[in-house]
Amino acid sequence: MPNLIITGGTRGIGRAVVELFLKEGWNVCTCARKEEALKGLKEELKNPKNLYVKVCDVGDKNSAKAFVEFCKEKLGNFDLLINNASILGERESIENYPEDVWEEVIRINLNGVFYITKYAIPYMKEGGVIINMSSGAGKRSAPYWGAYAVSKFGVEGFSLLLSEELKGKKIKVYALNPGATRTQMRAKAYPREDPLTVKPPEKVAEFILLLLKKLPQVVSVDWEG
Ligand SMILES: NC(=O)c1ccc[n+]([C@@H]2O[C@H](COP(=O)([O-])OP(=O)(O)OC[C@H]3O[C@@H](n4cnc5c(N)ncnc54)[C@H](OP(=O)(O)O)[C@@H]3O)[C@@H](O)[C@H]2O)c1
């Protein structure tokens, strides 16, 4: 059975991926900051044997390292790494953007992707895949998206250089913009939007499965669903 390590698997897109890949027979290892949510995930899915969870803050390098080592211990080497965890921060102008929120968003959304990836690379199988969740705000000018947009531009750049660096190991790297998706993060970004007008996270999970069956030639994948 193939092995998946995915950050932020307790809700939204991460959770939909966890559920679908478990159903497809994968071994899955995931994390989040809230222990209760991880316990809830396991209970709601009826404690599958092939699901492993650990509390982790991806933006903390010691926590990120401990999570990757835990996944290696439980799964062995990884077929797929999905850097999914991120936070929105504030919708605010640069002039008024709070410094502490800026630092927290960059710490989680960008440093977190670096730490998890750096520690996971030695355990990636040849022919493995790394998917970094990006955003339209990381590809086109997105005024008032502040640190979130800048972190996702960083994720796009990170994915481009990493894809070159890992060619020798035959590991493919993608930055995936999942497009508007019905999650807590989306509701926070667009409080007046009717959630039913955007696609559910299960669609993104299905798309990721399709992407693995036919790996694209480009690194940056833009999917509006
Ligand atoms: N939803 C959309 O429309 C949309 C559009 C474009 C891109 N995306 C991207 O898609 C990905 C998933 O988004 P989503 O909408 O599903 O978000 P979400 O509903 O807010 O879920 C985020 C997940 O990440 C975890 N997380 C947050 N910070 C973490 C940290 N420091 N360490 C470990 N886990 C952490 C959360 O759990 P805890 O809070 O317990 O840590 C939760 O499980 C993100 O990268 C997002 O930027 C989403």
- Whether this prediction's pTM lies above 0.95 is answered by yes
Q: 178 CB under 6 A from ligand 1?
A: yes
Q: Tell me if residue 32 falls in helix, strand or coil.
A: strand
Mean pLDDT (whole number) for 110-120:
99
Q: At how many degrees (to 10) do helices 12-23 and 201-213 cross? A: 50
Helix (H) / strand (E) element for 70: namely helix 61-75
Give the β-pairing of 27-32 and 51-55.
parallel
Are 70 and 62 within 8 A, CB to CB?
A: no
Q: 86 CB under 6 A from ligand 1?
A: yes
119 classed as catalytic: no
Q: How far apart are the first and last CA of the chain?
A: 28
- Gap from CA of 183 to ligand 1 centroid (Å): 9
Mean pLDDT (whole number) for 21-40:
98
Q: What domains can be seen in the chain, in order of their start residue?
A: 3-222 (3.40.50.720)
Confidence of residue 74 (pLDDT cuts 50, 70, 90): very high
Look up residue 85 and give its DSSP letter: -
Confidence of residue 52 (pLDDT cuts 50, 70, 90): very high
pLDDT at 224: 79
- Gap from CA of 8 to ligand 1 centroid (Å): 6
Confidence of residue 225 (pLDDT cuts 50, 70, 90): confident
Give the β-pairing of 3-7 and 220-222.
unpaired
pLDDT of 2 strictly over 90: yes
Neighbours of 95 (CB within 10 A): 5
Mean pLDDT (whole number) for 160-171:
98
The mean pLDDT of the chain is 98
Look up residue 197 and give its DSSP letter: G
pLDDT at 17: 99
pLDDT of 221 strictly over 90: yes
Active-site residue identified among 97, 115, 119, 148: 148
